[in-house]
Amino acid sequence: MNSTDLSSFLAAYMPTIAPYSGGAVFMPTNDKNMSYKFKFGDRVKIKDGVNPDYFDGTCIGVPGTISAIGGGYYDYTIIFDNGRQQAFYVKDIDFLTPPKPKTKITLESVILAEDKKKQIIAAVSQVENTAKIFDEWGFADVFEKGTAVSLLFWGIPGTGKTLMAQALADHLELELKIYGPAEIESSEPGGAERTIKTIFADAKKNKKVVLFDECDSLLVDRNEVGPIFTQLVNTLLSEIEFYDGVIIFTTNRLGKLDPALERRITAKVEFPFPTKEQRKLIWQRMIPTKAPLNKNVDFDKLADYPLAGGNIKNSVLNAARTAAYEKSKDIKMIHFVDAIEKESEALQAFTAEYDKHPHQRMVNTMQRTETGNSVKKDFSALRGRLS
Ligand X SMILES: Nc1ncnc2c1ncn2[C@@H]1O[C@H](COP(=O)(O)OP(=O)(O)OP(=O)(O)O)[C@@H](O)[C@H]1O
Residues near Mg ion (CB under 5 A) are 161-162
* From 11-19, 56-64, 108-116, 259-267, span contacting ligand X (CB under 6 A): 108-116
**Which distant-in-sequence residues (6+ apart) come within 8 Å of 17 by Cβ?**
10, 26, 67, 68, 77, 79, 85
Q: Cβ closer to ligand X: 64 or 309?
A: 309
The yes or no reply on residue 159 touching ligand X (CB under 6 A) is yes
The yes or no reply on residue 147 touching ligand X (CB under 6 A) is no
* From 36-44, 142-150, 167-175, 308-316, span contacting ligand X (CB under 6 A): 308-316
The yes or no reply on residue 293 touching ligand X (CB under 6 A) is no
Q: Cβ closer to Mg ion: 79 or 151?
A: 151
Q: Cβ closer to Mg ion: 161 or 222?
A: 161
The yes or no reply on residue 313 touching ligand X (CB under 6 A) is yes
Would strands 208-213 and 267-270 be described as parallel, antiparallel, or unpaired? unpaired
* Among 64, 70, 71, 160, interactor with ligand X by CB under 6 A: 160
- From the CB of residue 336, how many other CB atoms can be counted at a distance below 10 Å? 28
Question: Which x/- pattern over 328-357 shows residues binding ligand X (rule: CB under 6 A)?
Answer: ------------------------------
**Which distant-in-sequence residues (6+ apart) come within 8 Å of 226 by Cβ?**
none
* Among 252, 266, 315, 369, interactor with ligand X by CB under 6 A: 252
The yes or no reply on residue 174 touching ligand X (CB under 6 A) is no
The yes or no reply on residue 310 touching ligand X (CB under 6 A) is yes
* Among 124, 215, 282, 362, interactor with ligand X by CB under 6 A: 282
Q: Which of 20, 30, 245, 44 is nearest to 151 (CA)?
A: 245
Residue type at 70 in one-letter notation: G
Q: How far is the CB of 357 from Mg ion (least distance, A)?
A: 17
Q: How far is the CB of 161 from Mg ion (least distance, A)?
A: 5
Cα 90 → chain centroid: 31
Q: How far is the CB of 162 from ligand X (least distance, A)?
A: 3
Q: Cβ closer to ligand X: 79 or 254?
A: 254
Q: How far is the CB of 156 from ligand X (least distance, A)?
A: 7
Cα 35 → chain centroid: 30
What span, in angstroms and rounded, lies between the C-alpha atoms of 160 and 218?
Answer: 21
The yes or no reply on residue 309 touching ligand X (CB under 6 A) is yes
Would strands 175-179 and 63-69 be described as parallel, antiparallel, or unpaired? unpaired
- Residue 71: CA count within 13 A, CB half-sphere: 19
* Among 65, 158, 232, 244, interactor with ligand X by CB under 6 A: 158
**Which distant-in-sequence residues (6+ apart) come within 8 Å of 42 by Cβ?**
65, 66, 95, 97, 99
The yes or no reply on residue 322 touching ligand X (CB under 6 A) is no
Rg (CA), the chain: 26
Are the C-beta atoms of residues 243 and 200 closer than 8 Å to each other?
yes
Q: Helix (H, G, I), strand (E, B), or coil: what is residue 217?
A: helix
DSSP state at residue 188: S
* Among 44, 69, 78, 110, interactor with ligand X by CB under 6 A: 110
Question: Residue with CB nearest ligand X?
Answer: 309
Q: How far is the CB of 159 from ligand X (least distance, A)?
A: 4
What span, in angstroms and rounded, lies between the C-alpha atoms of 220 and 31?
Answer: 58
What span, in angstroms and rounded, lies between the C-alpha atoms of 1 and 66?
Answer: 12
Would strands 208-213 and 175-179 be described as parallel, antiparallel, or unpaired? parallel
Q: How far is the CB of 192 from Mg ion (least distance, A)?
A: 20
The yes or no reply on residue 111 touching ligand X (CB under 6 A) is yes
Are the C-beta atoms of residues 184 and 195 closer than 8 Å to each other?
yes
Q: Which of 265, 259, 251 is nearest to 214 (CA)?
A: 251
Q: How far is the CB of 213 from Mg ion (least distance, A)?
A: 5
The one of Mg ion, ligand X, none whose footprint includes residue 158, by CB under 5 to 8 A per kind, is ligand X
Q: How far is the CB of 213 from ligand X (least distance, A)?
A: 7
Enumerate binding residues for ligand X (CB under 6 A).
110-112, 157-163, 250, 252, 271, 282, 309-310, 313
